Structure 1
């Protein structure tokens, strides 16, 4: 495979891509933390988070800080490559030693690509679960777009599968043979059985009153959105009745998709996506006016 990432940057994704259409769709939130947990199940990545991240002390703050730059790498248009390289540079000093004495580095191509692959999986799962089925041609198209997106980071692409079929084989191997129930991943889903941590500014009696339904929803979204292999390794309870409820929930969300286009864009898309769509519409109007 030719390594293009460090020698040339492709044109960024735009409003005609399926990735723009779906990655910032607010229904993706319903998938839960599938991508984040999967990332931390790769031993090297989980160890890097354990050794270097504020994930354990500021879990939600860390997730919020990470999400914005990733979205801007997708929706940044002419700024996408610059944003992607900034994201890459956050990881330059994330390195250390594994428990077996081997070394890890966040910018190792196999490690960095795995993190990217989990975002692709998250989007594909979210679309097919909560929006609509995808054709094989659409899956191939989204995969090709994911290669463009990945190259925005300027990291070696030697670990990136060549095509959709190769990616499917890669994904199966990673889930069957590589991921583990790393301590970081177990911590990240601890609230499934222990409950969500109480926010600092919420009085104890208030939290005790509102936390039971919140915990139930968090468990349902989190465990329901996981691949069965993840549930197995992390020993997360999920019954056949749970699965039936989750399928009914997903079907209801898909059915509601008939009215989704009628809702305001501020409801349908995350802020980064909304800004990108507005900018693209302005550019098209300007170009149209110039041709007249």
Structure 2
């Protein structure tokens, strides 16, 4: 246990709320010499080691992801994020617990694929692919949606790498000088989930996101969970669904997306103060806590040898067809 009181408190909270629930079966300590998908010295190891910025990046990614109406309806039909009444009908509010569970799974995935053993990273990718295979349906306007659609996978991938890289550039104390190295490396994660023709630079990702604009929209689901409609949210400032996290996510958006969601930044003085406060809070927490245990275990694992990293993460064979219950049992 860390001797720093803040670090010790964070470690206890992370252990109880995230690690115990979402890191089950993930191996970071062995086998000796296994670098996993990336290894030390990689841009992914560096970016993902700043856990507070990583979490903010995931919140931003989830926000822009939901501008695709199909993804809005996927969440409506298949996820625990919408709050529902006793009859299962969404109320228009965010289910804080459901959103926290989604965030916990996301954190375990992006920590596990960064620092876990090769087998751990592959297991996580198989689980996510299996879950995607179960997400199929029809929107209210009659259009079908399918989480295995290559176009959806490309959009989803672009939103995630954009969110993580943007939060890193804006809020990391010492951001990478060559952010494109992160974009190039991260393609490995997208390919492991079945993505093809993925953007591999910051410019390509920005172009990819904007190219989807004709098919994007603010659905009622999206509108109910953002901006003024969150004023009565009971979520704490750092939780998904809180007005502050909603502001932080919308403030990160590209200009065209800010127009789409009617984002109006505060006056320049307030904007600078908010960003400075968030920068200070994120880096203060990171400096106080240091790298999480999984990062330290991965460093120790790799120091004991030097395997060659895998050449490709793309699936080599079709996945078995599983029910949602069977997939959830894998997690």
TM-score, structure 2 normalization = 0.64
* Aligned position for 1:229: 256
Question: 1 CA distance for matches of 2:49 and 2:60?
Answer: 16
* Aligned position for 1:166: 204
* Aligned position for 2:171: 130
Q: What residue ranges of structure 1 are gaps of 5+ in the alignment?
A: 1-10, 200-209
Q: What residue ranges of structure 2 are gaps of 5+ in the alignment?
A: 1-35, 84-94, 307-331
Partner SS state of residue 104, structure 1: strand
Moved more, 245-254 or 74-83: 245-254
Give yes or no for contact 1:91–1:106 (8 Å, CA) kept in 2: yes
After superposition, the Cα gap between the structure-2 partners of 1:63 and 1:162, relative to the gap in structure 1 and judged at 3 Å, is closer
Deviation at 1:119, TM superposition (A): 1.7
Aligned positions of 1:36-47 closer than 5 A? 36-47=62-73
Moved more, 42-51 or 252-261: 252-261
Larger relative helix fraction: 1
Partner SS state of residue 305, structure 2: helix
* Aligned position for 1:51: 77
After superposition, the Cα gap between the structure-2 partners of 1:244 and 1:26, relative to the gap in structure 1 and judged at 3 Å, is farther
Match of 1:110 among 145, 148, 151: 151
Residues matched between the structures, number: 252
Aligned positions of 1:1-292 closer than 5 A? 12-28=37-53, 29-30=55-56, 33-57=59-83, 58=95, 59-71=98-110, 72-78=112-118, 79-131=120-172, 132=174, 134-135=176-177, 138-153=178-193, 155-158=194-197, 160-161=198-199, 165-174=203-212, 176-189=213-226, 193-197=230-234, 217-218=244-245, 220-239=247-266, 241=267, 243-251=268-276, 263-264=287-288, 267-269=289-291, 271=292, 274-284=293-303, 286-287=304-305
Question: 1 CA distance for matches of 2:279 and 2:210?
Answer: 27
TM-score, structure 1 normalization = 0.71
Give yes or no for contact 1:13–1:149 (8 Å, CA) kept in 2: no
Give yes or no for contact 2:75–2:81 (8 Å, CA) kept in 1: yes
Question: 2 CA distance for matches of 1:109 and 1:48?
Answer: 16
Moved more, 246-255 or 20-29: 246-255
After superposition, the Cα gap between the structure-2 partners of 1:69 and 1:215, relative to the gap in structure 1 and judged at 3 Å, is closer
* Aligned position for 2:16: none
Question: 1 CA distance for matches of 2:257 and 2:206?
Answer: 17
> Alpha-carbon deviations, 1:213-251, whole Å to 9, x = none?
x96644543443333433322234433x1x433334434
After superposition, the Cα gap between the structure-2 partners of 1:194 and 1:168, relative to the gap in structure 1 and judged at 3 Å, is closer
Deviation at 1:89, TM superposition (A): 0.7
Give yes or no for contact 2:64–2:159 (8 Å, CA) kept in 1: yes
After superposition, the Cα gap between the structure-2 partners of 1:223 and 1:268, relative to the gap in structure 1 and judged at 3 Å, is farther
RMSD of equivalent CA atoms = 3.4
Question: 1 CA distance for matches of 2:68 and 2:184?
Answer: 24
Question: 1 CA distance for matches of 2:37 and 2:156?
Answer: 20
